[in-house]
Structure 1
Amino acid sequence: MSTLKIRARRQDGYTLLRVLISHPMETGRRKTEQEQPIAAHYIRNVQIALNGALISECLFSTSVSRNPYLSLHLPASQPGDRLRVSWQDNQGQSDSDEVLVE
């Protein structure tokens, strides 16, 4: 099951790209009720590609909240273009998914 929900819709001369990533985004500073530290687990980078060409790279840190949401306006895309979103975290996990612009 993908951790990404992606929507890309063309409107008013640009494409609105919306991305929701399911991820705990733990800082490493919290503790359990038994006072055990919770290990840091956060997304380090998110990459967005349009038709295979990288158009954006976002660098995240522990300051980003759980289940990050991204919204971007892309002026250079057309209906039928392929948008690919991928992420990698500090524990080596990753995911990617792609959609066609509507």
Structure 2
Amino acid sequence: MGQPSRMRAVENGGVVELRVLMSHVMESGQHRDASGALVPAHHIERVDIECGGRPVLQARLGPAVSRDPFLQLRFRGAKGERVVVRWVDDRGDTRSDEATVG
């Protein structure tokens, strides 16, 4: 579903800083199109992030989050570990992207 997430994971002193830009329309369901009809809701509901096989973030998002959500977080980790970002939206579409900690 959609474009791949843009991710950057950098380790410094045992702490990994992860930046993720998820490509999604994040439509709230409260806007109207040019003809005046409501645009149906379509937004990410759940985000799971793991590093080296262990969970580092589990989040629930809603319709108030802007288009193409950006997350930035820090957690303990090491260079070479694999970071996986997975999300599910309100229509059941899913996306999974990976990056290696540098």
In which range does the TM-score fall when normalised by the shorter chain? over 0.9
1:2 Cα deviation from its structure 2 partner: 3.8
Letter of the structure 2 residue corresponding to residue 52 of structure 1: G
Q: What's the counterpart of residue 19 of structure 2?
A: 18
Structure 1 segment 1-102 matched on structure 2, within 5 A: 2-74=3-75, 76-102=76-102
Contact 1:81 1:100 (C-alpha < 8 Å) held by counterparts: yes
**Unmatched segments (≥5 aa) in structure 1:** none
TM-score under structure 2 length normalisation: 0.93
TM-score under structure 1 length normalisation: 0.93
| CA root-mean-square deviation | 1.3
Contact 1:3 1:23 (C-alpha < 8 Å) held by counterparts: no
- Paired-residue identity, %: 34
Q: Once structures 1 and 2 are overlaid, which stretch shifts more, 51-60 or 82-91? A: 51-60
Query: Moved runs in structure 1, 4+ residues, more than 6 A?
Result: none
Secondary structure of 1:84's counterpart equals strand
Name the CA distance, whole Å, in 1 between partners of 2:3 and 2:53. Answer: 20
Letter of the structure 2 residue corresponding to residue 34 of structure 1: S
CA deviation string 1:63-93 (max 9, x = no partner):
100000000011x200011110010000111
1:12 Cα deviation from its structure 2 partner: 4.2
Name the CA distance, whole Å, in 2 between partners of 1:3 and 1:28. Answer: 24
Name the CA distance, whole Å, in 2 between partners of 1:10 and 1:56. Answer: 17
1:11 Cα deviation from its structure 2 partner: 2.1
**Unmatched segments (≥5 aa) in structure 2:** none
- The number of residues matched between the two structures is 101
1:40 Cα deviation from its structure 2 partner: 0.1
Secondary structure of 1:6's counterpart equals strand
Letter of the structure 2 residue corresponding to residue 90 of structure 1: D
Name the CA distance, whole Å, in 2 between partners of 1:13 and 1:54. Answer: 17
Name the CA distance, whole Å, in 1 between partners of 2:93 and 2:38. Answer: 20
